[in-house]
Amino acid sequence: MMWRALSADWLKIRGKGLWFLVFLGPAGLLAMQGLNFGLRYDYLKNIHQADLWGGLLDNLSNFVPVALYLGGTLICSMMANVEHQTSSWKQLLALPVSRAAVFLAKLLLCLLLLAASCLLLSAGTVALGWMLGFQSQPVPYTDILRIGFLGYAAALPVILLQLWLSLAARNQTFPIACGITLSLLSLFSYSLSEWFPLNWPGLAWSSSKPWLFSISGIFLGLLVLLPGAWHFARKDVA
């Protein structure tokens, strides 16, 4: 049943701007770093001459958590708004598909869209490094994949919370405001404990044990998922 619901949701997002958002996040991050290195090329290349790719990734990593939080917020909100704006919840939930399947289908589609965005970020990082003339050093493909996907796993608690809020609220003002607030707080939370969840995407790159924070994000995400699915299954969202 979930796959039928997922197929229906896949068709619904056509022309809704979600794919544009998937491309916009990584394109914005890469354009910012392209401008950063373009304007200070000699200076940055001299600083990072021992590890040019590492310097690029370190500069990029400062903005990946915010992009994940904002991207997750907007994708979840736009996904939920497909049903809210057309008032189609009653018709959707009248179909012979369980509410749990509907919830999981929307969750899976949101996660797939964000995963596509992370993959585009990794591919674009390789392309940017080549454009900047880093071919003299080997491409650290593992680190390039890690910068997006480990942070993605660590950001799952916030992403799942945003999906819960977006599906539960017909007016998307509160979910979006909540997501923007959490995104901004993540910029100033490094002085707090490393076990503060907003820090986990950044620590999934910079920590000596990055996998610990990614696994913690997955575990906490599951804890957020359970009450979210339970609430959706019982709430009147028609």
User: pLDDT at position 3, please?
Assistant: 67
| Terminal C-alpha separation, the chain | 20
Token match 């790159």: residue? 205
Percent of the chain, pLDDT > 70? 90
Q: What is the 3-state secondary structure (H, E, C) of 174-216?
A: HHHHHHHHHHHHHCCCCCCCCCCHHHHHHHHHHCCCHHHHHHH
Q: How far apart are CA 109 and CA 127, in angstroms?
A: 27
Summarised one tens digit per residue, pLDDT across range 192-224 is 888 899 999 999 998 888 899 999 999 999 999
Q: How far apart are CA 154 and CA 60, in angstroms?
A: 17
Q: Is the pLDDT of residue 87 over 90?
A: no
Residues 143, 147, 152, 155, Cα dihedral to 10°: 130
Range with lowest mean pLDDT among 81-85, 109-113, 132-136, 150-154: 81-85
Cα angle 40, 45, 46; round to 5: 105
Percent of the chain, pLDDT > 90? 51
